[in-house]
């Protein structure tokens, strides 16, 4: 089994039902999947929703110049 540091874990938005990491009761915080599931089973937290990762913007390929047309233009200019 892979270690938790190597794989990407899901993030959850949770509501505290007890004082948790110095956060008062009723606070909404974000935790990783393992921690959220563990403390939810102990009734310290209530999972509200899963946080979807933001999509990374795709890079656009640079526009390629057509060399054939520029070569033809250069040749016609050279001939004149």
What does pTM read for this prediction? Answer: 0.57
pLDDT of res. 1: 42
52's tokens? 């979807």
19-74 per-position pLDDT tens digit:
988 999 999 999 999 999 999 999 999 999 999 887 777 787 777 666 666 666 66
pLDDT reading at 9 higher than 90: no
* CB distance 45 to 23 below 8 Å: no
Count how many Cα atoms sit within 13 Å of the Cα of residue 52 in the half-sphere of its side chain.
3
pLDDT reading at 2 higher than 70: no
Question: CA-CA distance, 34 to 25, in Å (whole number)?
Answer: 21
pLDDT of res. 21: 87
Between 18 and 76, residue with greater pLDDT: 18
């Amino acid at each position: 089994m892979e270690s938790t540091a190597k794989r990407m874990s899901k993030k959850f938005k949770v509501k505290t039902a007890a004082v948790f990491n110095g956060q008062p009761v009723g606070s909404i915080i974000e935790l990783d999947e393992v921690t959220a599931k563990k403390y939810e089973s102990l009734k310290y937290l209530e999972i509200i929703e899963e946080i979807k990762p933001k999509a990374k913007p795709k890079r656009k390929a640079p526009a390629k110049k057509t060399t054939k047309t520029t070569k033809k233009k250069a040749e016609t200019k050279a001939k004149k």
